[in-house]
Structure 1
Amino acid sequence: LTLDIFGALLNGAALYPLEIKGEGLSALADWLARNEITIYRSFPTTFRQFTDTLAGDEAFPHVRVVHLGGETVTRRDVERCRKHFSPHCILVNHLGSNEAGGMATYYIDHDTEIEEPTVPVGYPVPDNQVLLLDQHDSAGGPGDAGEIAVRSRYLALGYWGRPDLTRERFLEDPTGGDQRTFLTGDLGRRLPGGCLLHLGRKDFQVKVRGYRVELAEIEAALQAIDGINEAAVVAREEGEAGVRLVAYVAPAKPPGLTATTLRGALAATLPDHMIPSAFVFLGALPLTPNGKVDRRGLPAPERFRPSLDVPFAVARTRVEERLARIWAEVLDLEQVGVHDPFLELGDDSLLATSVISRVLTAFQVELPLRTLFESTTVVDMALAIAQELATDSTPATQKHPPADWKRFPDEEAAARE
């Protein structure tokens, strides 16, 4: 904010702030043209929502710089800039903080090739040394991810009234020099050419099923999928189920994405433990007053069955009905279709184990766990149980009467839909 204000005023330019919450984004295009704005600055999320309001025939001949920062910039953001702004407009990705000012900058023109889904934040600005430190505050090796730290003599003095936090985040020069080191709390990785890649906040790093997961990496993979305008991923604590990853996506119009298609696209680039358990579709991500994603404002996933490529199908027998009820209770959903793949409903090894345990108890069968793990739908699981009971020495009618396996009459099945 300091750079935004004084960077304009001290260079003889006029400063035009726009209060997004009050004025909205629909009139921003006319506002930019009418005031002949030359440098546009915002968070990437605000930029995405702004470009979503554009029809494609707008012109911004005076805008020569689109300056983004504060959040991860993606390759799709570069495409948006090139689509809506003139070929002479430069996109600037900037990494900075109130404590250290500007730390790194990356300039992108219409010929710059972006190979990674996430746009680099560039190279250190003059008089700053950017380091990547491990958990012991030691510099990592080439290609290693680490916490971004800035060594400079031009840092803030500290935090007012918080000497403890000042000591934690500002490290004195061990040699007694005047250069201190500020720990930003951001994670990064250096590319082979020395360019810095921002990987998100350190506090957005979570553990899922024993694996360390970078939420920003999942968000970048989501935003690289055609048809998605915005994406955010949060980790939610679900009691005994542990930590679940929930993805919030704002699809482009017209809608057509499903949880099935998103899982499939993510599976091509991410390991299983990084694929979210639930997907929530929103018209737009909520924003804070300054234009960042309001993660606290993201709603909890509803208990409704997610949108899948498979149409909903009701149980045809009482066994299927009982199995569907077990699945729904474990997955915390209101209902489950008999052809719904377990993977698409929020696959998790702990949840799968819970389902199998309850099924074995409810149906009093001794099935190999692998058989049930391979039963990806209620119908498959019902068939596996039926085959086991057919070979069991105990008559099936003693465990489950014939009525349990008989199909519901057509009128009763219709009433269940």
Structure 2
Amino acid sequence: MSGLRQLLAGGDVLSPNHVMRAVAALPGCQLINGYGPTENTTFTCCYRVPREGWGGGPVPIGVPIGGTYVRLLDDAMRPVRDGEIGMLYAGGLGLAVDYAGDPLRSAEQFVPDPQRPASKLYRTGDLVRRRPDGNLDFIGRRDRQIKVDGKRVELGEIEEAVRRCAGVSDAVVTATKGDTGALVLTAHVKPAAAGQGQVAVAAVHAQATQALPPHMRPSRIVAHDEFPLTANGKIDQRLLAARAAVEPSPIMSATSETERMLSGIFTRVLGVHSIDVATNFFELGATSLKLMEAHASISRIWPQVDVLTLFRHPTIRDLARALDGRHGSIAQEAQRRAQGQAAALQRLHNARPR
């Protein structure tokens, strides 16, 4: 392939690591990331990949090609600001007229352009974001947008954060229902080097969980040597989700007095019979309101603990370590309380008139 002068790639999301490997291996070749639905053939946007990279994140899909234009709109068909996520609508000379023999689907997908009422746009169903330099980032499909704890979550945004972690070559995030009916986010990661799955998992635990807000943090992280593929060569996200839903997890019981106290609080608040001390609260069905309820009970034992501590340490094991590290163990806390009560009684006794 050393004689190639230009290589156009399209049809699926490009892996940043593979793109940079291709750029390094083909010094005389210009790699172009092409994006475009069949309904606006052939490409809608293109991005000429710089040899020095693009500043991190997903490989941009670029800007519209000649004769084509795009709109980034919200649910009310209003333009979104740069940096905000919106649905991509495509228009221009390559736009199809409609779906032959399917007027209902045509009306749903080919809609009037709010800025040019006489023209039509194709509703791609793809969520994108415009960078400061004008290039577009592909975030994910609209049908991969979910709600967690009442907040809208783009799975593509979580994947982007996971891919930035050291030792991770690629990532897919799936959402499945747990035993309590709550959505469970699972990060499926492909390590950058063979046999380094645990290293990649540890990096995601350490880095992505700090970079993401609590409701977007994956409850589970699973390493795969290779991702399963569909018949047309794309990552089989449905199979990954199905595996995540049925894969059993070992139950880890409380091993310290602090963990046992916390387990009692959370089993009561969440309405479960038993609890795994290593399982994320949100996987167990917790919401922000449930954590606030748990915090009310916890603060009776550890008065100086704020509710944010529960979000920063979203498992009983992590929370117990944080509490023991900050305030001492249960035994030490009980001893301090007993000493305080004894001192108070002594002061009352000394204050009594003789």
Q: Give the count of matched residue pairs.
A: 318
**Cα–Cα, structure 1 residues 165 and 223, in superposed 2: closer, same or farther, change >3 Å?**
same
Matches within 5 A, 1:22-171: 60-83=1-24, 85-101=25-41, 102-109=43-50, 111-171=51-111
C-alpha distance 326-261 of structure 1, shift in aligned 2 (>3 A): farther
How far apart are the structure 1 equivalents of 2:235 and 2:104? 29
Q: Secondary structure at the match of 1:80?
A: helix
Give, as a single letter, the amino acid of the residue that structure 1 aligns with 2:33. Answer: N
Indicate which of 288, 291, 300 corresponds to 2:233: 291
Q: 1 CA distance for matches of 2:329 and 2:289?
A: 18
CA distance in 1, matches of 2:169, 2:141: 21
The answer on whether the counterparts of 2:168 and 2:200 sit within 8 Å (CA) in structure 1 is no
Instruction: Name the SS for the 2:152 alignment partner.
Output: strand
Give me the whole-angstrom Cα distance separating, in 1, the residues matched to 2:289 and 2:220.
15
* 1:270-291 Cα shifts (integer Å, max 9, x gaps): 3232221111222211111111
1:181 matched to which residue of 2? Answer: 121
Other structure's SS at 1:217 match: helix
Give the distance between the partners of 2:282 and 2:109, measured in 1 at CA.
42
Query: What is the CA–CA distance in structure 2 between the aligned matches of 1:386 and 1:353, rounded to whole Å?
Result: 28
Deviations 1:203-232 (A, max 9, x none): 212222222222112112222223222210
Displacement of 1:139: 2.5
Distance 1:142 1:323, change over 3 A: closer
Aligned partners of 2:89, 2:149: CA distance in 1, in Å? Answer: 29
Which residue does 1:191 correspond to in 2?
131
- Pairwise mapping of residues 260-299 of structure 1 onto structure 2 (< 5 A)? 260-298=202-240, 299=243
* Alpha-carbon distance between aligned partners in 2 of 1:326 and 1:173, rounded to the nearest angstrom: 54
Question: In structure 2, what is the equivalent of residue 410 of structure 1?
Answer: none
Q: Distance in 1 between matches of 2:152 and 2:54?
A: 27
Stretch deviating more after TM superposition (182-191 or 151-160): 151-160
Q: State whether residues 92 and 108 of structure 1, in contact with CA within 8 Å, keep that contact through their aligned partners in structure 2.
A: yes
AA paired with 1:116? G
Q: Provide the residue aligned with 1:384 in structure 2.
A: 330
Alpha-carbon offset, residue 164 of structure 1: 1.6
C-alpha change, 1:89 and 1:120, in structure 2 (3 Å) is: same
1:357-387, Cα deviation, whole Å (9 max, x unpaired): 6xx7xxxx96468759767355768943884
Q: Which residue number corresponds to residue 253 of structure 1?
A: 194
Select 1:350's aligned residue among 266, 273, 287.
287
8 A contact 2:184–2:282 mirrored in 1: no
**Aligned AA for 2:170?**
E
Does residue 1:219 correspond to 2:165, yes or no? no
For 1:270 and 1:128, locate their aligned partners in 2 and report how far apart those are by CA, in whole Å: 35
- Within a 5 Å distance, the mapping from 1:397-416 to structure 2 comes to none
1:317-336 to structure 2, matched below 5 A, reads none
- TM-aligned CA deviation for residue 104 of structure 1: 0.3
Change (3 A) 1:76 1:325: farther
SS of the residue aligned with 1:257? helix
Q: Distance in 2 between matches of 1:344 and 1:253?
A: 32
Query: Which of these residues, 249, 259, 268, is aligned with residue 304 of structure 1?
Result: 249
1:149-197 alpha-carbon deviations (Å, 9 max, x no partner) = 11224322322443222101102467674x4211111111222232222
- Give TM-score scaled by structure 2 length: 0.72
Do 2:8 and 2:33's aligned partners in 1 also have CA atoms closer than 8 Å? yes
> TM-score, length-normalised on structure 1?
0.62
Question: Who is 1:203 aligned against?
Answer: 143
Unaligned runs of 5+ in 1: 1-59, 307-311, 393-417
Contact persistence 2:88–2:125 (CA under 8 A): yes
CA distance in 1, matches of 2:109, 2:140: 17
1:129 offset after TM fit, Å? 1.1
Give the gaps of 5 or more residues in structure 2. 310-315, 339-354
**Identity percentage over the alignment?**
27
| Paired residue secondary structure (2:157) | helix
| RMSD of equivalent CA atoms | 4.2
Q: Is the 8 A contact 1:324 1:378 kept in 2?
A: no
The equivalent residue for 2:341 is none
